Structure 1
Amino acid sequence: MQIMSVKMTRYKQADFVDEDTSSIGTIQLNETSGSGIQVRYKTRGNSLWKSLSKLEKILLSTCFTLTFCLLLVIFVPRTKDIDSTFLNVQNRDPCLTEPCIHAASSILNSIDRSIDPCDDFYSFSCNQWIAKNPLPDGKSIWGTFGKLEQQNQIVIKNYLEKPDQYFTSEAEKKAKFYYESCMDEDGIVEKLGAEPMKKFIKNFGGWNITDSDYDISSWTLEEHLKIQNRYNMNGFFTWGVAEDDKNSSRNIISIDQGGLNLPTRDHYLNKTGHEKVLKAYLDYMTKVAVLLGANENEAKRQMQEIIDFETEIAQITAPLDERRNDEKLYNAMTLRELQIKAGFIDWVDHFSDAFSIVNRTITNDEPVVVYAPEFFQNLSTLIIMYKKTSEKRTILANYLVWQAVRSLTSCLSKPFREAYKGLRKALVGSEGSEEPWRYCVSDTHNVLGFAIGAMFVRGVFHGESKPAAELMINQIREAFIKNLKTLDWMDKNTSKLAEEKANAITDMIGFPDYILNKTKLDERYFDLKINKTEYFDNNIRVNIYNLKKNLEKLNEPVNKTTWGMTPPTVNAYYAPTKNQIVFPAGILQLPFYDLNYPRSLNFGGMGVVMGHELTHSLDDQGREYDKFGNLKRWWENKSIDDFNNKTKCFIEQYEKYQINGKKLNGKRTLGENIADNGGLKAAYHAFLNSKSDNEADILPLPGLNMTHKQLFFIAFAQVWCTTLTSEAATLQVEKDNHTPPKYRVIGTLSNFDEFSREFNCKLGTNMNPQKKCEVW
């Protein structure tokens, strides 16, 4: 899932801001559906099965199981090594309940018994799934998350297409109206063509690329950036209001590096490796300019100047793997001090203009946190140089207008949306061609996610999963804390404080209660105006609404119950400044979780997700925050040194893995790898300690001949079964904080002795190497 560990990401057209979180990740990279809705109905059986007598059910289940076993004997190749792996199943009849049969069928349709699980457990667990799930048209990535998304989109579509009179909540009506404006069934967007954007550009004083009579002499950087702010558009950097890392009870202005439009700085600096992407980016920029009335050759020349300027920004941008120490990143100062470091604009004037919409006075003494002071010093030097001549000032103006234009081209007619396909193809290997209603469902979810969430919760999430999930979290927390006490490398005082922090982690499950209160939900969106015939203008209004909501926080105390994800989202996250883990209703679904499934599968799926988020509290970044969510040095020096020595093992391990000839970045993915490994261990031991008398938890599943300990690991692996294009895989290696799916499975399990024991993997095999890495 796109929501990863980030600092001050300013989301446009989004209903929520993930200010500082670490998520489980859903490998959704740059799909046209945006963040998407990744949920489906929970399996609850069908009326035909319920109408059968108990005897009929047993007979049918027995026939079904015998058929499965016969097919396995006839069609499934076996090796001697694999047969010996599964001989330790208790000699008992299988579980023949409907959920057990469904679970067994799902597993059997995914595993590949021709692969030795001790050689490549990902291929063993997922090969059949991958073979049976080719990439759908227009998709660059397809996995369990994507399947949930597509099924859930149908659920949401059915609600959004109900008659107006069905909706009693104004917020939900706004969601419906926004969806209708996106669908554009009357063709209003197509008739308007480029006109909304041309009108919008006039607000910036025009654009040299499209206006032949443009006069740069009247242009000033300061005034242009103020306009950029009012529309919540990115400029040379990112900023917003967020919790103060060192005093998480207050909100503060936070400022960080930014300004790049391609996914990574390497796309600009490694021109040989990304020649295709850079060419596609230039083509896309030129096509958009021509659609807005520019001369093609002149547009191409000036757009190349913009790319060259972005390249200069890339050169002063710190790579992500060098930005993992929050203590070093945190630089508190006043605007007066920032002015001395980076004087390319008047910072007080800049922020005073922005905060005027919420009647907040800004002075030279306003405290801010700057996460990249060196970047701003270099940026100031760069911009001051560009301000010296009219030719260079024109490039600055062109760049800033392009930032605004680029963010809104998807809200225009089809030719503008088509222009992006070439760049998308170069980046992820697919042009994208999903049905319009799917795009519009996702877009509506991005904009009014909690209104959508209210529909989803009422229609799908019935609440019985919540107490069971709370119990599971507590069981995993107990296992995690119990393991803390056994660590011989951590001093007693730090260990005690770590235990206190783990006990202090709060959890939020399902959805925020207010969304089911019509009055409170309407109040949230009261200031947002939506018109069902004004798609482009709706997006402008959404930007301004989100900006105002963010700026209002500077006057308010921190609300530690605010959700950073909407209820339908299939993901989870840990927020270090809140010391909080959050599990939206969307992830409490199959294949992660089902109340009627065996505990082994629930702990292997949802349990590992929970353990992953708990472990983020003590990963290389999370460990820097105390139990109150404050950035503070609370570890003894020796424990810090020992921790860092242990994490080096993970960095070296994961950098040995390659995708398409590119080595994984062990530093950038360190936090997620620590969370994957620690989460698996905590969930497994919690599973072993849990008790149950249910048949599904005791009897083996039909046709599998596996123990429940083995099924735990199968469930974990099959969450990550994925098909993707070569380009998407490469982009993931270059961009994502999460390790690619295959190595999330292999890397984690190969460090875990209990896995090797259950599958009888000899020491020295791929899945049971001599050297193993462990922190928690």
Structure 2
Amino acid sequence: MTLTPRPHPGRSVQRGTTSSRRLLAALLLAVGYLALVATTAHANKDQFCTAPVCQSAGDFLTRTVNMSRKRNETCTNFHESVCDGWRQLVDKPDHMSRFSVLAKIHRGHKARLRGLVEDRGSSAAGTPALKQLSTLYDQCVANAFPDPETVPEFKAALARWRAMDLSTPLGVHRAVLEGMKTGGNFLYGLTVDANSRNSDEMAVWAKQGGLSLASPKHYTDRKYRSLYLDLLQHLFADFHLSGDAHAVLAFETEIARISDSPTNLRNPYHSKPVTEATPVFPAKLQAHYTVIMDSPAYFASLKDLLAHTPTRTLKQYFLVRQLQAMLTHMHYQPMLDFRAKALHMKPPPTEEYCLSVLDRYLPYLTSLAQLQDRDAYPGGKHDWVRMQTDVQDMVERMRETYLQVVRESKWMSPATKNTALEKLANVKLVVGGEPWMLDEQAVLEFYRAYSRRVSWYATFMNFRIRDKIKTWRKLGAPNKRESATAPMVVNAFYSQPNNRITVPFGILQYPLYHVDYPLPMKLAGIGMIVAHEFTHALDSRGRRYDLNGNLANWWADKDLEQFTQKSECYVDQYNAFKIHGVSVNGRLTNAENMADNVAITLIHRIAEQALYSPRVRILNEHGTPMPGAQAFFTAMAANWCVHFDVEAQKTALLHAVHAPSSTRVNGALQNLPAFEKTFKCPKETKRERCTLW
């Protein structure tokens, strides 16, 4: 915008001598100003980002859109109108049943990490972080997926498990702790996290146990029961387990029957502190710490089930769960067959498996090694700070927009609205990672005990044990309210107990983000994800917590009634979506769906205010650049494209808290009037809308 300069103090200004001249001058000035505004707006609308990363993104999106065989489904299935082309351009790894944009970014990190740990002559090879990682990686690659018969430590562990006494509650609890070391997830699990009713305190969380099959419903399905029974019979025969495989299947079927639903487990008020002595947990644990059960009904039923289950059956089940946990990391064909057919999971290549293990148990070390890579971050710490500042600025703009949206809402009472605004204003933000995670000496000290052992099995088990020790050391100390997310994790998170968003460096990657992207492109990528996390502060789960992260009902009765009605609208709306003939669970996915809907509203408002400019040049099927709004929505949808195996996706619908990507995109856009206007959708494609604010 150009401002009319003021007259210079040393110059005279000739004034008109008649009112008509003054009027004419005013009219000419007004017309000139309006023309200038119109010209500026047009220039902004047609301004393209010319940075190399924008050109690459534009070229890829152009090919994506024009290769799609479903371009005519823009108004009815926008996700597929974009992503059909994406799937033709992006190959899915054979061992993965689901491959998304996030998974592609994560795989890129692994490839970069592999290059670092294998390239002994690189400039980064001498750093302490890479030296430690390279030593561990070499040991894993040389010994990964061994035959169980060749691992003496595994045989010794199996003998120890056989000798355990499960005839008493304390013996059962010791078996639970042993299962936590291996990942066996026997009967129930224990972890340490903030107390949801007093977030300054760390509490013991007791969570219902896992299952061998992917869902409780599979235990009544003849196909899946048969697959699991086949595995059990192999385990009994090959590892000389006494007893009956059918008895173990019957017992685990009972565990599945008493398991609480994922929907109930999502309800923060469903969890309850242990207030009286129970034989399920040792008295010492209950006496010294707050113990919170994620499902009181499950633990009550488990108590009765254990009282009526023969010790022999319980022991067999414990051994089976331990074997499954460890054989996942070995070459045992019946386990490979079971995981492929029943869980839709195939083993990755050895190198990728080893990188995954290092990423899982030494995430701060693998993150530091990647951040020290000058090929990826030529400016070193300067690049980190630049990204942090850029994202912080975008999030603050997002915060102001969210506050404005809530202020504009008409259905909340002033008291409830002010509390909601106060909570949003106090949402904390961590970009990249906590400062200590970027300090080499601090990270090396953190992993000082994670050294190479005599065998890969011993090294791997040391990782698991050290992890548990670090977890349990949090007990008795106040909640530090630090983010535990490693810097190169490819995701973003909102923590209810800490009212905090974490955006790691790992997700600040192409195509979701680049520091040289224009604002609309950032909003369509990482902006949608961060806005989604921001919305969790006030979604169907987040609205139950106050600004300090404590469960509290701060809603006026009438406001809560209105909120519930709006929430139920989303439940009904998403229940109507079907994937491969299976209905989406609108209640289980409700919080995530609400977050998607508010997020698209926020980022669209900011992009619209910026006139969608500068934008990435995306050419449509006619070879002409898409208008700004169309380019914005196309880039957003492309970031949610995914490859999937049909059976794996059907299974995910039974327990996943996120709706399928196509439902997430199409569901949110059908509630945004601007989308219909942008693509001039016909009336017959319009559906009933749900709105929160």
TM class by smaller structure: 0.7 to 0.9
Are the equivalent residues in 2 in contact too, given 1:306–1:399 (CA < 8 A)? yes
Deviation at 1:529, TM superposition (A): 3.8
Partner of residue 574 from structure 1, selected from 482, 491, 494: 494
**What is the rounded CA distance, in whole Å, between the counterparts of 2:423 and 2:396 in structure 1?**
14
* Distance verdict in 2 for CA 1:578–1:282, change over 3 Å: same
**What is the rounded CA distance, in whole Å, between the counterparts of 1:169 and 1:159 in structure 2?**
11
**What is the rounded CA distance, in whole Å, between the counterparts of 1:366 and 1:97 in structure 2?**
56
SS at match of 1:142: strand
Asked whether 1:197 is paired with 2:112, we answer: no
SS at match of 2:64: coil
Kindly provide the amino acid, as one letter, of the partner of residue 748 in structure 1.
A
Deviation at 1:221, TM superposition (A): 5.0
Deviation at 1:205, TM superposition (A): 3.4
Deviation at 1:596, TM superposition (A): 2.2
Structure possessing the higher relative contact order (Cα contacts under 8 Å, 6 or more residues apart): 1
**What is the rounded CA distance, in whole Å, between the counterparts of 1:142 and 1:527 in structure 2?**
34
SS at match of 1:254: strand
**What is the rounded CA distance, in whole Å, between the counterparts of 1:518 and 1:90 in structure 2?**
45
Deviation at 1:468, TM superposition (A): 0.9
Match of 2:9 in 1: none
SS at match of 2:503: strand
Kindly provide the amino acid, as one letter, of the partner of residue 226 in structure 1.
R
Match of 1:443 in 2: 357
Asked whether 1:377 is paired with 2:300, we answer: yes
Q: Deviations over 1:718-753 (max 9, x none)?
A: 111112111111012112100001111111101111
Deviation at 1:230, TM superposition (A): 4.9
* Distance verdict in 2 for CA 1:338–1:104, change over 3 Å: same
Partner of residue 61 from structure 2, selected from 107, 116, 130: 107
**What is the rounded CA distance, in whole Å, between the counterparts of 1:364 and 1:106 in structure 2?**
60
Deviation at 1:587, TM superposition (A): 0.8
Stretch deviating more after TM superposition (161-170 or 469-478):
161-170
Match of 2:268 in 1: 326
Matched length: 634
Structure 2 segments unaligned to the other structure (5+ residues): 1-41, 378-382
**What is the rounded CA distance, in whole Å, between the counterparts of 1:523 and 1:230 in structure 2?**
27
TM-score, normalization by structure 2: 0.86
Q: Deviations over 1:754-773 (max 9, x none)?
A: 111111113331xx32x101
**What is the rounded CA distance, in whole Å, between the counterparts of 2:519 and 2:335 in structure 1?**
45
SS at match of 2:548: coil
Deviation at 1:191, TM superposition (A): 8.7
**Aligned ranges 1:673-692 → 2 under 5 Å:** 673-690=593-610
Kindly provide the amino acid, as one letter, of the partner of residue 431 in structure 2.
I
Are the equivalent residues in 2 in contact too, given 1:654–1:665 (CA < 8 A)? yes
Match of 1:470 in 2: 392
Structure 1 segments unaligned to the other structure (5+ residues): 1-87, 208-215, 352-362, 387-391
Partner of residue 533 from structure 2, selected from 604, 610, 613: 613
Match of 1:147 in 2: 104
* Distance verdict in 2 for CA 1:326–1:515, change over 3 Å: closer
SS at match of 1:568: coil
Are the equivalent residues in 1 in contact too, given 2:83–2:638 (CA < 8 A)? yes
SS at match of 2:116: helix
Deviation at 1:554, TM superposition (A): 0.9
Are the equivalent residues in 1 in contact too, given 2:54–2:616 (CA < 8 A)? no
Match of 1:423 in 2: 338
* Distance verdict in 2 for CA 1:544–1:718, change over 3 Å: same
SS at match of 1:400: helix
* Distance verdict in 2 for CA 1:89–1:288, change over 3 Å: farther
* Distance verdict in 2 for CA 1:617–1:346, change over 3 Å: closer
**What is the rounded CA distance, in whole Å, between the counterparts of 1:714 and 1:260 in structure 2?**
40
Q: Deviations over 1:661-720 (max 9, x none)?
A: 11110100001000110111111112233489xxx7068555452122222211111111
Are the equivalent residues in 2 in contact too, given 1:101–1:701 (CA < 8 A)? no
Are the equivalent residues in 1 in contact too, given 2:488–2:504 (CA < 8 A)? yes
Match of 2:464 in 1: 543
Partner of residue 740 from structure 1, selected from 660, 672, 682: 660
**Aligned ranges 1:53-72 → 2 under 5 Å:** none
Kindly provide the amino acid, as one letter, of the partner of residue 473 in structure 1.
V
Partner of residue 442 from structure 2, selected from 520, 529, 535: 520
Who wins on radius of gyration, i.e. which is larger?
Answer: 2
Match of 1:452 in 2: 366
**What is the rounded CA distance, in whole Å, between the counterparts of 1:475 and 1:515 in structure 2?**
27
**What is the rounded CA distance, in whole Å, between the counterparts of 1:551 and 1:537 in structure 2?**
21
SS at match of 1:574: strand
Deviation at 1:306, TM superposition (A): 1.6
Match of 1:265 in 2: 216
**Aligned ranges 1:729-768 → 2 under 5 Å:** 729-765=649-685, 768=686
**Aligned ranges 1:669-748 → 2 under 5 Å:** 669-690=589-610, 697=614, 700-701=617-618, 703-748=623-668
Are the equivalent residues in 2 in contact too, given 1:242–1:252 (CA < 8 A)? yes
Partner of residue 277 from structure 1, selected from 209, 214, 224: 224
SS at match of 1:570: coil
**What is the rounded CA distance, in whole Å, between the counterparts of 1:468 and 1:91 in structure 2?**
23
Residue identity (%): 23
Kindly provide the amino acid, as one letter, of the partner of residue 302 in structure 2.
L
Asked whether 1:241 is paired with 2:198, we answer: no
**What is the rounded CA distance, in whole Å, between the counterparts of 2:116 and 2:172 in structure 1?**
41
**What is the rounded CA distance, in whole Å, between the counterparts of 2:104 and 2:50 in structure 1?**
27
**What is the rounded CA distance, in whole Å, between the counterparts of 2:343 and 2:308 in structure 1?**
36
**Aligned ranges 1:108-123 → 2 under 5 Å:** 108-111=62-65, 112=68, 114-123=71-80
Match of 1:367 in 2: 290
Are the equivalent residues in 2 in contact too, given 1:613–1:675 (CA < 8 A)? yes
SS at match of 2:244: helix
Match of 1:158 in 2: 115
Deviation at 1:640, TM superposition (A): 0.9
Q: Deviations over 1:637-677 (max 9, x none)?
A: 11111111111111111111111211110100001000110
* Distance verdict in 2 for CA 1:567–1:654, change over 3 Å: same
Stretch deviating more after TM superposition (742-751 or 190-199):
190-199
Kindly provide the amino acid, as one letter, of the partner of residue 775 in structure 1.
L
Stretch deviating more after TM superposition (471-480 or 99-108):
99-108
Deviation at 1:91, TM superposition (A): 9.1
Deviation at 1:229, TM superposition (A): 1.2
Kindly provide the amino acid, as one letter, of the partner of residue 229 in structure 1.
L
Match of 1:81 in 2: none
**What is the rounded CA distance, in whole Å, between the counterparts of 1:634 and 1:153 in structure 2?**
45
Are the equivalent residues in 2 in contact too, given 1:428–1:725 (CA < 8 A)? no
SS at match of 1:617: helix
* Distance verdict in 2 for CA 1:513–1:618, change over 3 Å: same
Match of 1:232 in 2: 180
**What is the rounded CA distance, in whole Å, between the counterparts of 2:494 and 2:149 in structure 1?**
44
Deviation at 1:576, TM superposition (A): 0.3
**What is the rounded CA distance, in whole Å, between the counterparts of 2:616 and 2:133 in structure 1?**
47
Stretch deviating more after TM superposition (235-244 or 191-200):
191-200
Kindly provide the amino acid, as one letter, of the partner of residue 639 in structure 1.
D
SS at match of 2:201: strand
Deviation at 1:615, TM superposition (A): 0.3
**What is the rounded CA distance, in whole Å, between the counterparts of 2:100 and 2:287 in structure 1?**
50
Are the equivalent residues in 2 in contact too, given 1:241–1:254 (CA < 8 A)? yes
SS at match of 2:683: coil
* Distance verdict in 2 for CA 1:192–1:512, change over 3 Å: farther
SS at match of 1:243: strand
Deviation at 1:627, TM superposition (A): 0.7
TM-score, normalization by structure 1: 0.77
**What is the rounded CA distance, in whole Å, between the counterparts of 2:267 and 2:618 in structure 1?**
46
Match of 1:592 in 2: 512
